[in-house]
Structure 1
């Protein structure tokens, strides 16, 4: 006889997530623009924030934990029920004022974006994706801030042993802070270096692909070079690791460089591109010169199969682990509240 699971038997979680889609030129023009986008671009590609929400739901489904999505009426009819606002901040305006809220991880880039958050709402906890973000938020929101990384779909992102490895290195470009500067200083020298070594190279740019394309390239690739100034979790990087593709990651360290805040409002560091990582995942480098000097060691490890990145993901970042961690945090932060037992 299976043992009872308090999380599975409890009242459903009240999850909230919405993407902003405001009118741009005329009242209600968001609706025809939405239709045109779908016709031109196909179905909406989940971004990082939406992927967090979808993966949390998938993990809860696997654990058999019930939840509602965007049921604002339920909150109005059940004062005291907890709202789990995964994102985005626009949702907060729709939540009844006295509602206990667990907010994040798709919240604000920095507490300066909403300095009165904790007095405007009954915030029981703010969830952030990794430890360096927690340290950046802590001076503003104190012990309200907690780390929660979402899980990765290790069944959807898995090795493809029967696919020919006709790409030696996939270069993933997520350079965002100063693309002209950093592509010239980092990406372009790396591409030239790889081609000079006679390696077969493919490139992919963040925001300009669909997940099936990325999955196909990972199936064909022996390794991936990941180019991003810093990451709060790095879901695409972790999808590659889940496919057992070793990663050589650009990890320059230094300060958080969000141009909305740095350097005029926030100077925080160090940050990292690999907040979830160990030696099984691959290697890191600081700049193009270090890439050139250390790539032979990384490539030798790839060819000798010395890395085992999927093992890191399956031990630490599965859908089930992420969902269980989320439920535990919500219950701890709200004193076990989940809503009326009769819900």
Structure 2
């Protein structure tokens, strides 16, 4: 394994709002009022990559701008956000992503404007395919790893048949009537009990507590670029019955006026050992019956251990890094 230190960069956008440099007192006031900021999804990408590098004994520097400026020949690994690339003058070769922007139309001439960018990383394969008409083979899927020491199986008794993980972001009223209500009706008819968790309104400890009491999970989401939450659930050895509608990327900022791309997936990293999927509500009851008959045979944690651990993710990142190093040598 390489002993060369990686130069990793991540920053949230924090522009001045009213007067020059007012971002600094505003940052201090936010910290005093709200307490320490919880890491968001993109920040977790940087943190989990560094955990993985620790596990495979690869050194790194984090946000050492002074060092990277003195060493323009070394690769800058800009995890996110995009202003880090756009608002600074980088002489270094750059690996850009995976926490930057959602579609190449935000910067279609990325590699012309910034020829020092060597790779554009995205969380999963369907997103990489979506980017390739603009970015070609430089768009690469790289998933962040799952902390399998934090997300572990629970050996005790479980009293809840299903935890329903609700990550429906758009057209909620419609899907409440056409998807969630029919699912609940079918579960009630089968005398299966359930509880809910809603995306964006829970802590990791709350999710772990609910998983610990749940025999299985119903995962509801239009699509995922990677899907950290459902993979954390799989790491607890809890099988999933997933709504995987396919079809177009639904983000209303892009669809349908700016971008029409298909197919997408709600569970982009998946194997038959993880559970079962259904596309339409008309398929749900049949898949539910099959799922219940097979529930004890699924081995979802093994899929995560084989494919998506912190170590495997860090090793894959290092392969990308080494490839860029050879290219620029």
- Specify the TM-score bucket, using the shorter chain as the normaliser: over 0.9
**TM (normalized to structure 1)?**
0.90
1:108-135 residue CA offsets vs partner (Å, 9 max, x unmatched):
1000112232123211001111111111
1:173-201 residue CA offsets vs partner (Å, 9 max, x unmatched):
11113222222221222123223322221
Match in the other structure for 1:155: 149
Higher normalized contact order (CA 8 Å, seq sep 6+, divided by chain length) = 1
1:199 aligns with 2:196: no
1:9-48 residue CA offsets vs partner (Å, 9 max, x unmatched):
22x100011122446678443432343222xxxx433332
1:168 aligns with 2:165: no
Q: By how many angstroms is 1:171 displaced?
A: 0.4
After TM superposition, the structure 1 = structure 2 runs for residues 69-80 of structure 1, keeping only pairs within 5 Å, are: 69-80=62-73
1:51-95 residue CA offsets vs partner (Å, 9 max, x unmatched):
221111110000110000111111111122210011111211354
**TM (normalized to structure 2)?**
0.93
Match in the other structure for 1:332: 323
**Unmatched runs of 5 consecutive residues or more in structure 1:** 339-343
After TM superposition, the structure 1 = structure 2 runs for residues 1-343 of structure 1, keeping only pairs within 5 Å, are: 5=1, 7=2, 9-10=3-4, 12-22=5-15, 27-28=22-23, 29-38=26-35, 43-121=36-114, 122-161=116-155, 163-302=156-295, 305-335=296-326
> Partners of 1:175 and 1:182 in 2: how far apart?
8
> Partners of 2:32 and 2:108 in 1: how far apart?
36
> Partners of 2:32 and 2:109 in 1: how far apart?
37
Is contact 1:165–1:222 with CA below 8 Å preserved after alignment?
yes
Call closer, same or farther: CA 1:36–1:183 in 2, change over 3 Å. Answer: farther
Is contact 2:31–2:37 with CA below 8 Å preserved after alignment?
no
Is contact 2:247–2:262 with CA below 8 Å preserved after alignment?
yes
> Partners of 2:108 and 2:225 in 1: how far apart?
21
> Partners of 2:7 and 2:113 in 1: how far apart?
20
Match in the other structure for 1:341: none
RMSD: 1.8
Is contact 1:124–1:334 with CA below 8 Å preserved after alignment?
no
Q: By how many angstroms is 1:330 displaced?
A: 1.0
> Partners of 1:98 and 1:187 in 2: how far apart?
51
